[in-house]
Structure 1
Amino acid sequence: MTSQYPTLEQMGITSFDNISRYSLRREVRADVLKVYYHRPSGSFLSRSKKFTYARPKSNVAVEFQKTAEWHQLEDTSPVLRQALVELHALLQPAEVAAGDKASLQDTKQQLLADLEHMERVMKDKLDELRRQIDALK
């Protein structure tokens, strides 16, 4: 049976149900992923695990003010990117459950307000174009 989160398993994370959140920060030339767990008080298990990924460097030619210059560009690790995708997928249902119907209602109201605004703008623009056409006659 294959795991739903193979990258996390390769990193040594096996108790997926206990993950509460994660954080990502940058230190000098590395990305640091920290995974936090729900643990009962008095537990001897760690409350978090820290993973450090060095950022590889590559030189890329960039045209800047009509002069070719080389800039050091850094990219994130593909393993880190995949781990973030898996963590997001793992924690997303918890985020949706934590959000209540009020936030969904707020989103709906905002979308309706945006739609009404767009309709007013389009109506005004069409009226303006009609006035311009009438002025040409």
Structure 2
Amino acid sequence: MFQHLTALGIQEPKQIERYSLRQEAHKDVLKIYFRKQKGELFAKSVKFKYPRQVKNVLVDGGSNKYKEVTEINRNLTLIIDELNTITKPQKLAKVDTKEKILSDLRHLEKVVSSKIAEIEADLEKLK
């Protein structure tokens, strides 16, 4: 029934609790969270990265100017449709833009800090 999710290696799609989708550079990052099993401290999750599709769109026909735009990968849209069937997400009335920007900023800080620590560790190995 959930052919795209099983193609990702997810054996029990009904155990999916929720998912998140965010964009990093030229990739969409899908993170799927499973229901916490008895005896587990944390619920399991898996992460998938999909490159965004790049298209050239005609901006001005008279001057023949094109603009490069990116859009979500077609396979990812099919997977999201299946995830929506399982999780039945509630429609958000209105997303607080300020809160979303702050959340994105905090996430970016964590990613950058982690990458800096990784690079510093690599530098230490060179000494």
TM-score band by shorter chain is 0.5 to 0.7
Structure-1 residue corresponding to 2:79: 83
Structure-1 residue corresponding to 2:66: 70
Q: Are positions 1:58 and 2:55 aligned together?
A: yes
Seq. identity, %: 30
Structure-2 residue corresponding to 1:120: none
Q: How many residue pairs get matched?
A: 90
SS at match of 1:72: strand
- Mapping for residues 27-66 of structure 1, pairs under 5 Å: 27-40=24-37, 42-43=39-40, 47-63=44-60
**Which has a greater percent of helix?**
1
- CA contact under 8 A between 2:4 and 2:78: conserved in structure 1? yes
Which one has the largest radius of gyration?
1
Give me the TM-score of the superposition, normalised by structure 2.
0.61
Structure 1 runs of 4+ with >2 Å offset: 40-46, 66-69
CA distance, structure 2, for counterparts of residue 28 and residue 7 of structure 1: 24
Letter of the aligned partner of 1:13 in structure 2? Answer: I
CA distance, structure 2, for counterparts of residue 46 and residue 88 of structure 1: 19
Q: Over aligned residue pairs, what C-alpha RMSD do you find?
A: 2.4
Structure-2 residue corresponding to 1:23: 20
Letter of the aligned partner of 1:39 in structure 2? Answer: K
Structure-2 residue corresponding to 1:13: 10
- Tell me, which stretches of 5 or more residues in structure 2 are unaligned? 91-127
- Tell me, which stretches of 5 or more residues in structure 1 are unaligned? 96-137
CA distance, structure 2, for counterparts of residue 45 and residue 13 of structure 1: 18
- CA contact under 8 A between 2:21 and 2:29: conserved in structure 1? yes
CA distance, structure 2, for counterparts of residue 41 and residue 81 of structure 1: 32
TM superposition shift of 1:68: 4.3
